[in-house]
Amino acid sequence: MSTLLANLNTEQLQAVTLPPQHALILAGAGSGKTRVLTTRIAWLIQSGQVDPAGMLAVTFTNKAAKEMLARLSTMLPISTRGMWVGTFHGLANRLLRAHHRDAGLPQLFQILDSADQFSAIKRLLKTLNVDDEKFPPRELQHFINGQKEAGNRPQAVEAWDDYTRQRVQLYQEYESQCQRESVVDFAELLLRSYELLERNEPLRRHYQRRFRHILVDEFQDTNRLQYRWLKLFADEGREGGGAMFCVGDDDQSIYRFRGAEVGNMRDFEREFRVHNVIRLEQNYRSHSNILDAANAIIRNNSKRLGKNLWTDQGAGEPIRVFEAFSDGDEARWIVEEIQSLVRDGAMRSEIALLYRSNAQSRVLEHQLFAADVSYRVYGGLRFFERQEIKHALAYLRLIANPDDDTSFARVVNFPTRGIGARSLEVLTDAARSYNTNLYATVPHLSGKPGTALGQFLRLIEDMRRDTAGLPLPELVDQVLDTCGLRAHYKADKEGRERLENLDELINAAANFLGESQADAEVLAQPHALLADFLAHASLEAGDHQADQGADAVQLMTVHSAKGLEFNVVFLSGLEEGLFPHENSILETDGLEEERRLMYVAVTRARERLYVSFAQSRMLHGQTRYNLRSRFLEEIPAELTKWLTPPNPRSAAGGAMGGMGGGYFKPSVQPQVQRAPRPSFATLPNGLRIGQSVSHAKFGQGVIVAAEGSGADAKVQINFGPAGVKWLLLGVAKLEAV
């Protein structure tokens, strides 16, 4: 016991050894939250309070779940197989597989990933002859998923206009199509499992009795449905229900666009009458200058649960601030600084370039390429999302479930076998008439379409028959040969990498077989584990497959950087309208979410943090002139070191700290020669950014941004109560105040 609890600080020890009561652990960045969560599980098992099967642990990524299980294996001499530790979608899939009849699903139901769902929606619109310009498939996909994540079936959606009523009808048609094809999308996994537990009281009581401890990681990222799903397992917080142990950081809630609801943390504290709120504030990652800056920034947000990060690692280096004239100027300086750091012994892989918008990466990539600095844009195409892999999985899905129209449509003519668009149109129309799936409709066709499509059916049936008794890896290998994918890519002069990926799919099947818990009786059944492997592939599709071994500078958005840490971080584009993003001004609590994003960005740095901004920037083909970000101004001056002499602040007034000795010696000129320039560009009519102006309709305001030139010049003005407006200078009659 002493070994397990060794080296925990006071707050960590308190959290780990809490009695079986509801608890909220506010774990700041770098405070050891994963260690606390894992040690809590190990301590509960080791102290005899619960057995491994008596707890439910939920994470947000498969990577985090695997890491947690690996840590547990090193802490305790137990087998982690069979433990309910995984993602929301992974655990929901497990629940539905175990109780598929109660859930109204076939045993071998398939999972649609995001791309498959999109294809299914496009196919639905075409079948129904719906104008995809009026109802864009991507928007309809977001609408359907949003409704499901809110717990709404079509009949529960409120529709106050014709357009919404039509979208609801399409949602209903999509549900019918999925039921007919025996497929579920990601959002359906959670909603279907929630409905199963809510409506089936004996089943719900069974799991409530079984799971006496429910542990949740990254609780701030849960949406409303996920929170309701957890509450069912905990019997809504009633006495005698399972104890909820939720770990999260409301200051790092940055996924509102995905449906995350930071208010779940406050609701949990109120609804479950949580008396154990423990704050993990000691940071083991960063020096105090970085943490003090993060604390100062996030302190400007309201509705926080409240915490203050600290460290005993010392102050460290000041935060370096650079002001550039243009985005190209900013990128050149960043690359020169990286080269200097590498010459001094820094690893490129420990240097990260963060930006708010993907559009910012182009100029950075250009400069890195020109300087021959190796780099990698974090988050490339994932293994299970590569074209050749999706084709192979589609064939495997048809073997497991011929009702899957999305898979049928994907590979019916790939590799090409003479089945054209006209044949598929005839098939689709017939399927609509017979109210059947595409596979079952083929025997009803005659003529050339019936002949060509019949050959494809015989191919699938032959593969299903010939692979029935094969182990999973051999099954995959044979399907790759028989379906023609291998031959197709062998004939392609650029197909070598795709062939290697297909071989890797066989390795993935072999690894899955090795990790499976199926007994000999199950393995003896035809196509044993195939459905589980396909579900695994769908669930794994969202995880990053980062390249290993390459020493390269890491480029990524701030959103992508969450959960990562680097010795050196460059945060570029700290300008009003960019970071914080201009859209945040128009959204409820949008600015607070942007500030949380800034907090995440700052706390990625261990040793050295650079922040930079440009007076002008090319975005979306337009030159924009912006003020420096308010977030930069929220950092105390004593924590910063300006690498360029700071220009006076605009409307905010005051200076943001001096040179502090300066990065460049006063007698030495910077590498990039610059002529003296004004702090903010001058606009037509003698106006400038930061100037107060008056408008006949909107009243008095302040110019906060500008773009374009000449007759196309326009300015963004904050009119206070009248809101933020973009006005053409050639049309708007503005008077300087």
Q: Respond yes or no: is residue 33 known to be catalytic.
A: yes
**Active-site position among 208, 226, 252, 640:** 252
Bridge-partner residues for 179, per DSSP?
A: none
Q: Is 117 a catalytic residue?
A: no
Instruction: Confirm whether 669 is a catalytic residue.
Output: no
Catalytic residue, candidates 217, 292, 337, 576: 217
CA distances from 343 to 347, 353, 565 (A): 10, 18, 21
Distances (CA, A) of 212 to 13, 56, 86, 240, 535: 21, 8, 17, 9, 28
CA distance linking residue 274 with residue 724, whole number of Å: 41
Query: CA 203, 204, 209 angle in degrees (round to 5)?
Result: 100
Q: How much of the chain is helix, strand and coil, in % rounded to 5?
A: 50, 15, 35
- Name the DSSP class of 581: B
Of the chain, the end-to-end C-alpha distance in Å amounts to: 71
Which one from 11, 33, 279, 388 is the annotated catalytic residue? 33
Which helix (H) or strand (E) segment is 619 a member of? strand 605-619
The span from the CA of 429 to the CA of 236, in Å, is 48
Catalytic residue among 604, 606, 617, 624: 604
DSSP conformation letters of 647-706: PPPSTT-S-----TT-SS-TTS--SS------SS-B-GGG-BTT-EEEETTTEEEEEEEE
Q: Which residue has the tokens 């993602």?
A: 87
Structure tokens at 560: 């992508």
Determine whether 304 is an active site residue.
no
Selection from 188, 117, 115 nearest residue 381 by Cα:
115
Provide the token pair at 369. Answer: 């390429």
Is 34 part of the annotated catalytic residue set? yes
Instruction: Give which of 415, 306, 287 is closest to 24, Cα–Cα.
Output: 306
The yes-or-no answer on residue 688 being catalytic is no
* Catalytically annotated residue among 11, 12, 34, 261: 34
At residue 301, what is the residue type?
Answer: N
* Residues involved in catalysis: 33-34, 217-218, 252, 604
